[in-house]
Structure 1
Amino acid sequence: MFDKIRNFIEEVKAELRKATWPWDSDPKAKGLKKYKELVDSTVVVMIAIVLLAGFVAVSDLLLSEALSFIIGKVAS
């Protein structure tokens, strides 16, 4: 049982060493320069969220106005 757990943990460590991480592995890099890729990716995601939220808000407004117009015509 413990051998299986130890083997699993060793395999996880081996796989994590193969992964690319979104920060600079250079020990001389300091501050935000070390995390440039991570910060850039975060900014892109935040911009995409704002744009998507705007699109959904405008679509909701237009569709609700169109539906109100249609219901108003039918009710008259």
Structure 2
Amino acid sequence: MVGRVDTLVHDPVRPAGVFEVITTTPDAVEAATAPAPGLLGAHIHATPDGERAVVIAEWSDATARTAVAPTPLPRSLIVLL
């Protein structure tokens, strides 16, 4: 049981970060997680059947994300923090 929920407070000096959630095939994971300026981390989760992978990429800001690919990848969700 969660006894307390903390709120997220952003540093007013730094721009907000970006999380991108992508559903892809396992063979496309490497392209979705290739090192790039502004990519802080990528978390990969495979489905139990091994047919799909969910990639959660954390970017420093929206500018860094769009510099790599100006449009969202197919089947992706972008969340600004």
TM-score w.r.t. length of structure 2? 0.21
Structure whose CA Rg is larger: 1
TM-score w.r.t. length of structure 1? 0.22
